[in-house]
């Protein structure tokens, strides 16, 4: 669902849009996996070590999907690589540190949510009026940023609070990504309307 913070909408061709639309199913899979992960997180009675392992794997998988899916505005893939690398990096840190403290887990998740949220917000604002997905992306960015700030301001939170935070975030983000997937599928039609109105 990434949009490049430096859009180049004037340089996008219908062929570019069709290439992006063809991978709509990647966005759908990522959204579905995120919703499932959120439900699993909220349903299980976790130990700190097991939660860290699960969350680390979720971040790595999300990072791989971020790298595989192109920005929906046809912009450079560098931002997809940046967010993908952030996800994978955080996942690896959590996996490599099998028994982190609650404070460390909360800080890592808070920093990640804040940074990824800012990237989403900047990309959405930069694409305002150009693509139909900017509102969905803006909502996801605001949600991530607010949850990130909330996590960073409460370093003494309990395991239950972290589980609820991550679980709700995963479900809401997954739902937004599922909506975005079907919008991506319709990008060629929207692109045609945009070109027709510009003439």
**Residuewise pLDDT in 10s, the chain (199 residues):** 555 544 444 556 777 778 878 888 888 998 899 899 899 989 988 887 887 888 888 889 888 988 888 776 555 677 778 878 888 988 888 888 766 666 777 777 788 788 878 888 887 787 776 666 677 778 888 988 988 888 888 766 667 777 888 888 889 888 888 888 888 888 778 777 766 666 6
185 within domain boundaries = yes
Closest CA to 62 of 45, 98, 38, 96: 38
Closest CA to 184 of 87, 13, 32, 70: 70
82 within domain boundaries = yes
137 within domain boundaries = yes
Handedness of CA 90, 152, 159, 141 (dihedral sign): negative
If you search the block for the tokens 């909408």, which residue do you land on?
9
1 within domain boundaries = no
pLDDT confidence of residue 35:
93
Say how many domains are in the chain. Answer: 1
42 within domain boundaries = yes
What domain range is 117 assigned to? Answer: 14-198
Quote the tokens at residue 9.
Answer: 């909408």
74 within domain boundaries = yes
Closest CA to 110 of 157, 150, 60: 150
If you search the block for the tokens 């909506």, which residue do you land on?
179
* Cα atoms found within 13 Å of the Cα of residue 44, Cβ hemisphere only: 15
Closest CA to 138 of 106, 103, 180, 99: 180
Distance, in Å, from the CA atom of 172 to the CA atom of 113, rounded to the nearest integer, reads 13
Distance, in Å, from the CA atom of 104 to the CA atom of 5, rounded to the nearest integer, reads 30
Residues 6+ apart with CB under 8 A from 182: 24, 28
Closest CA to 20 of 194, 199, 192, 186: 186
* Global pTM value: 0.73
Distance, in Å, from the CA atom of 22 to the CA atom of 163, rounded to the nearest integer, reads 35
8 within domain boundaries = no
Collapsed DSSP state (helix, strand, coil) of residue 129: coil
9 within domain boundaries = no
């Amino acid at each position: 669902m990434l949009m490049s913070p430096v859009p180049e909408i004037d340089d996008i061709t219908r062929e570019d849009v069709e290439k992006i639309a063809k991978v709509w199913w990647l966005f759908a899979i990522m959204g579905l996996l995120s919703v499932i992960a959120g439900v699993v997180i909220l349903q299980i009675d976790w130990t700190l070590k097991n939660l860290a392992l699960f969350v680390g794997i979720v971040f790595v998988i999300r990072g791989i999907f971020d790298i595989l899916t192109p920005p929906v505005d046809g912009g450079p893939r560098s931002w997809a690589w940046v967010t993908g690398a952030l996800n994978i990096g955080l996942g690896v840190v959590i996996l490599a540190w099998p028994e982190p403290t609650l404070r460390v887990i909360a800080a890592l998740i808070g920093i990640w949510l804040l940074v990824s949220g800012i990237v989403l917000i900047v990309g959405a604002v930069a694409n305002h009026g150009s693509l139909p997905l900017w509102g969905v992306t803006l909502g996801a960015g605001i949600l991530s940023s607010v949850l990130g700030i909330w996590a960073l301001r409460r370093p003494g939170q309990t395991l239950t609070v972290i589980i609820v935070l991550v679980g709700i975030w995963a479900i809401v983000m997954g739902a937004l990504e599922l909506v975005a997937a079907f919008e991506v599928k319709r990008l060629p039609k929207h692109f045609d309307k945009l070109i027709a109105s510009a003439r």
